[in-house]
Amino acid sequence: MTITAHSRHLLVSALDPRLCAIAFLFAPLFALLSYPIHSAEAQSNRAEMHAAEGLALAKAGNLQSAELELRQAVVLAPENVTFLEDLGTVLAMQKKFDESNSYLQRALTMDPSDLLARRYVAANLWQLHRYAEAQQNLRILLRASPDDPQGLLLLGMVSENTRDYATAARALSSVPALVRAQPESMAALARSYYHIGENQKARAWLNELQTHPAGVRAGLLGVQIADEMHDYETAEALLSSLAARYPDESAVRYQLALVEFDAHKFEESRQILQQLLEGGHGTREVDHLLALCLEAQGRREDAIHTLQNAIQLDPGDQASYLDLANLLLAEKQISAALDLAHRMTKTFPDSPRVFVSVGSIQLHAQDFSNAVTSFSRAAQLDPASADAVIGLARAQTNAGMSHEAKATLHIAMQRFTQKAPFELELGQVLMKEAENGTGDKHAEVKAKELFNSAIAHDGKLADAHYELGELALRRGDLAAALVHLKMAAKLTPSSANTHFALSRVYRRLGQEQQAAKEIALFEKLKQ
């Protein structure tokens, strides 16, 4: 057996960290070079020589030179399936996944029964987030070889990414030995079990992560899954176990602070973070979480100072800038927010999230024409950003560009699969026109239809319920108003306007006690 024949076992040993969960699907590169070349035919064949040299360079870690040699082999022998697979493999190791697949697909065209190449193609497609295509290749693979363990593992990982948790749990649990080889696979199976209601099985896998050879990294991954799934009791128990084995590990203490924050134990979280800072373990993550704790406790000025410190520690931390901008707006510090907006656009000139934030600041400052420019830039940078499109429509409306705003939203409703936010926004634009007398006589009717459609698409859209409640109240339909406003209050309990509207409904229904409760909530929230 030649080196090149064995080289098809090489793939993704140096890929993105998210792929390390299945790196062991493929035989290591070093195994490829365990077979010496003695063949006179290989020596006399230039293509074989280039291929052999390419694999030797790959073993030495010189992937760029290996790629050049393998390209030469493919040029000299373009019909050689093995050479195509070798080149596809080395390209994948350099994260050139699209180009890697172009060669692997050529190999599959010549030999559709090559299941190993098909598995490599699926792995590349997974890495490229092209999950549907990855699943299509895996179906072909598993149809030919239903018990292929690596194929089942990869199917489980792809299914977990596409939120098909039942398939993910079934596929991953069928290959437990492979799953246990990597913490990421164990985490994917635990998350899948949580989503299908098999919480005890999920916890069992998380417990195994605590003693995984990968050490504290694996244990923290288990904690993160429990925290993500709101299983705070399990997260805290896992952290206690980790803390006993890694008492000086600041990452463990930070993770505990994060769990406490997610469990709404803000003071406990703040104290842990403060101890980390005092112990010399300050990081931008610590400052960032501390600011969130302080904000949750109503200490917004302290939170602002903490975020300013985080930005000084790491001027390139975009998240701290964005959170600081939100806090400044919440505190109505518009001048400071505008100064920050200028700094953000200089520091992050190509960030769509930054331009959405800047546009929001300009809206608060009633600088509507510049807000239109900022949101337009955000939408240009990220055409898939719903926030950018909605912000642009709001800026256009406030700038007196109602026709343009409606056109923006109509286009978005055609382009985005999630239509509800745009239907809500367009309904609100029409309501403004109806109130100002600038719209047609059917504007209010059209707005109501849009609000109902938004709820049909997303029943948890509180603002749509609020708008329908206000419309019903205006028509004197108190029963309908009460239903919609109570739902809006349930979905967004912190909305002062909703509680005020509810107080009006209860008063007109003669329920003075309930009306008084709603007014008290309104006053508290306004403060």
Q: By the 8 A CB rule, do 20 and 184 touch?
A: yes
DSSP per residue, 315-363: TT-HHHHHHHHHHHHHTT-HHHHHHHHHHHHHH-TT-HHHHHHHHHHHH
- The confidence score (pLDDT) of residue 31 equals 43
Specify the CATH number of the domain 1-171.
1.25.40.10
DSSP-derived secondary structure letter, 190: H
pTM of the model: 0.59
CB atoms within 10 A of CB 452: 15
Q: By the 8 A CB rule, do 321 and 340 touch?
A: yes
SS3 445: helix
**Distance (Å, rounded) from C-alpha 214 to C-alpha 224?**
15
DSSP-derived secondary structure letter, 29: H
* CA-angle at 183, arms to 181 and 185, nearest 5°: 75
Token readout for 124 is 């590349």
* CA-angle at 59, arms to 58 and 63, nearest 5°: 20
| Burial degree of 320 (CB within 10 A; 0-12, 13-18, 19+) | buried
**Residue-wise pLDDT tens digits, 365-406:** 999 999 999 999 999 999 989 999 999 999 999 999 999 999
**Distance (Å, rounded) from C-alpha 32 to C-alpha 70?**
15
**Distance (Å, rounded) from C-alpha 32 to C-alpha 60?**
12
DSSP per residue, 235-274: HHHHHHHHHHH-TT-HHHHHHHHHHHHHTT-HHHHHHHHH
**Residue-wise pLDDT tens digits, 62-88:** 888 988 988 888 888 888 888 888 888
Q: Which of 121, 74, 130, 81 is nearest to 102 (CA)?
A: 121
- The confidence score (pLDDT) of residue 154 equals 93
- The confidence score (pLDDT) of residue 28 equals 40
Positions of the chain with pLDDT lower than 70, given as ranges: 1-45, 247-248, 439
How is the chain split into domains, by residue range? 1-171, 182-282
Architecture category of domain 182-282 in CATH: Alpha Horseshoe (1.25)
Q: Is the dihedral of CA 343, 348, 349, 351 positive or negative?
A: negative
DSSP-derived secondary structure letter, 8: G
**Distance (Å, rounded) from C-alpha 501 to C-alpha 519?**
9
**Distance (Å, rounded) from C-alpha 174 to C-alpha 384?**
37
